[in-house]
A and B are shown apart, each in its own frame.
Chain A
């Protein structure tokens, strides 16, 4: 497993070395070095914000090419609920699912179906009262990674249940083995994702040793392949097994609403997520039972791999779910073993300066000192997002003093003045 894997790459030719991504990165994980944006791997949480904001489209999301599905004799599509919000005038999810089969998949398993099971299981766990409150949703891989690096003491609050994607993959795989009689190596399970974070989550999962997902496709990539096919369908196959609860997971608040408990909070957008986590850490939200956090604005419909504006997508889903039953899928003994985490979330306090407290304090004192000498404009011209970040980079040994253009200008002025005086 490549620990340095992230679901974003840089098109070096397109990158102008501007600091848009540097200053917008929520974990300050990007620096401009040698004129190009560079990700500090251990700090990156795969939120995709840099992809969203890059004005030169130099940041590219990583996902698997569609044709990869043909490597497997038995191909299963796992469409994310956010996918249903991408189509104009869609009134029946079965059109999407039928078109996926026409495009080459042998079977489909809706992630919204698994989401209904996750909701049911979460309700059960909350009722048992054994979880540490407030319970934080584990569905968004970015939030999990953010908590690991920036809020290590909240790891215990995270719901120890697989994401709907993982649950869907496990159940779909088992069904293919048992019902379709396929050996495991013939089965290819492909998640159709709204965001690149799920690519990282499938390749480098943190709640299990190995994900049951074989590949992650992009909604934006699959969309043009099926939209034409959808128009050709006369009578769609009755495939959908999810109701209002499952489909509503596509937007922020959907997961919470499914808990039938008003003591919840749902926040979306990475900056808002950070603010809420700070409040949880400060024990100001202890009265709440559940906290749903989505890194993207609007929830999963706001992912960078979608084609439609998140607000439009959410409205479409509202209309789509109108005549659906509340829920179509319920947990049986068959699904139960697929729900729990196999590996618990462990803190990765990569932001701390040193394992040795005295040494860390010495470094901190140096950072304070250096920060004082910098202009405090946070202009980013040195390649670091803030003056303080540059000071920290210098103390950690990642950057040199003298990278600050303002200090350089002062030095040059002094030099010039001393020359004039001499003459």
Chain B
């Protein structure tokens, strides 16, 4: 069968809604009946990426592709881009502003967690243009 496609717009001007899209995809995957472990990985990875998108890039768009074999998620933003991807991938490295640190974000675990919980991860970033984060989790 064809892959199911899902799309979410992530508004950048309302921080209180950050994480909503991840919750929606999670409920969707649960309904289909994917294994809890698969859903857990996808939702943690997507949550991290979605929060990043709101904190650093003023929101963006998320496209998901679901097949019985794997779940792939692409997050596109038009933010400032990441100057040094290798540095950003290091655990504990963060450029999050103070106002979100007080909410418990900015531990520098976002990108490392995406890598940890997914089977494939790619980052394409252009300074001043934006960043695309792609990841997939195998379902079987």
Contact = CB atoms under 8 A, between A and B. Distances in A.
Interface in B21-61: 22-23, 26, 28, 30-34, 36, 40, 43-44, 47
B43 A282 contact: yes
The secondary structure that dominates the B interface is helix
B68 A358 contact: yes
B139 A357 contact: yes
Indicate the member of B26, B31, B43, B67 with the most A CB atoms within 10 Å.
Answer: B31
B46 to A, nearest CB: 11
A282 B36 CA distance: 11
Contacts of B28: 364
A387 B67 CA distance: 25
Interface string B1-18: 110100000000000000
B44 A364 contact: no
Contacts of A351: 30-31
Interface residues of B, number: 21
12 contacts: A153-B36, A153-B40, A278-B23, A282-B22, A282-B23, A283-B44, A357-B33, A357-B139, A360-B32, A364-B4, A365-B1, A368-B4
Indicate the member of B23, B26, B33 with the most A CB atoms within 10 Å.
Answer: B33
Pairs of residues from A and B, 3 with the lowest C-beta to C-beta distance, nearest first = A352-B33, A153-B36, A357-B68
Contacts of B26: 282
Indicate the member of B4, B22, B36, B139 with the most A CB atoms within 10 Å.
Answer: B36
Contacts of B68: 357-358, 361
A357 B30 CA distance: 11
A361 B64 CA distance: 14
The secondary structure that dominates the A interface is helix
Contacts of B4: 361, 364-365, 368
B27 to A, nearest CB: 9
B89 interface: no
Interface in A4-30: none
Nearest to A349: B33
B96 to A, nearest CB: 17
A259 to B, nearest CB: 24
Contact of A358 (B1, B31, B43, B47): B1
A362 B31 CA distance: 12
Interface of B: 1-2, 4, 22-23, 26, 28, 30-34, 36, 40, 43-44, 47, 66-68, 139
Indicate the member of A352, A354, A361 with the most B CB atoms within 10 Å.
Answer: A361
Contact of B32 (A153, A278, A361): A361
A230 interface: no
A257 interface: no
Given A278-B23, A349-B33, 6 more contacts: A152-B36, A283-B40, A357-B33, A357-B139, A360-B32, A361-B4
Nearest to B140: A357
A409 B2 CA distance: 33
A352 B44 contact: no
A362 B67 CA distance: 10
A356 to B, nearest CB: 9
A410 interface: no
A360 B36 contact: no
Interface string A142-164: 00000000001100000000000
A353 interface: yes
A282 B18 CA distance: 14
